[in-house]
Amino acid sequence: MTADPAAAGHPTGRSRSQHQRRKRILQAAAALASRGGVEAMQMRTVAERAGVALGTLYRYFPSKMDLVVAVVNEEMDTLEASLERRPPSSGTPAGRAVEVLMRATRGLMREPELADALIRSLLLSDVKTDLGDRMAGMLARVAGDGVPHEEQQILLRSLSSVWVMEMIELLRGRSGNERIQARLEIAAERLLAGF
């Protein structure tokens, strides 16, 4: 008996081609942003590079900011998959949280122009993104045993906000990985002391 690919969560037929088209668009957008920031992510250029019509691009992503948010979500998906394959190994909640944040830092800094474009766009945009919630959710999974209560969720969001600010300092050339890690360790130890 053969398994039904659709039932197993695998895209089939048209949905597979739509999934592949969306992936090409996101890869094209990320490649352009990694070479020239958000300014290089012109919708027409993204469409040409992805091999799709401009109208098709707009059906998937109604605005440039929607496209930027989707690229951010792809980066977060990559980080989450990395954490599933290789969970943080520190013996403390704060240590595990810092491991997650430093992995995110190293992952984003492989493409500093892309990292700068994504962070800048999210800070300046009025497009709603769940970056903070997703990062806090990842931190919750590695920091504690079970679902964090409201105060813990606030503390986890605060730690992810500290990380965003540290990323800005790194992208501006005012900090380095060692300094970011030291600052995150202090913040995590204080914020997650009750976990």
- Rounded Cα distance, 9 and 7, in Å: 5
In which residue ranges of the chain is pLDDT below 50?
Answer: 1-9
Q: What is the mean pLDDT of the chain?
A: 84
CB 134 within 8 A of CB 83: no
pLDDT digits (tens, 9 = 90+) for 124-148: 666 566 777 788 889 998 887 777 7
pTM listed for this prediction: 0.77
DSSP-derived letter for residue 180 is H
Identify the pLDDT of residue 87. Answer: 92
Amino acid code (one letter) for 7: A
Contact in structure between 31 and 40 (CB atoms under 8 Å): no
- Taking the domains of the chain in order of start, what are their residue ranges? 13-191
Pick the CATH number of 13-191 from 1.10.357.10, 2.60.40.10, 1.10.10.10, 3.40.605.10: 1.10.357.10
> What pLDDT score does 184 carry?
96
- Please give the pLDDT value at position 68: 82
